[in-house]
Amino acid sequence: MLFWGITNEPDVAIFFAIASDGFAALPTVIKSWKYPETESSIAYVTGLFVALTSFSALKMWSFAELAFPIYLVIVDIILIGVLWRNKIFAK
- On whether residue 7 sits in a domain, the answer given is no
- On whether residue 67 sits in a domain, the answer given is yes
| pTM recorded for the entire structure | 0.85
More confident residue, 91 or 41: 41
The yes-or-no verdict on residue 68 having pLDDT over 90 is: yes
User: What are the tens digits of pLDDT across the range 17-48?
Assistant: 899 999 999 999 999 999 998 999 999 999 99
Give the domain extent around 35. 25-88
Contact in structure between 29 and 78 (CB atoms under 8 Å): yes
Number of domains in the chain: 1
**What integer pLDDT is reported at residue 5 of this predicted model?**
75
- On whether residue 33 sits in a domain, the answer given is yes
**What integer pLDDT is reported at residue 7 of this predicted model?**
77
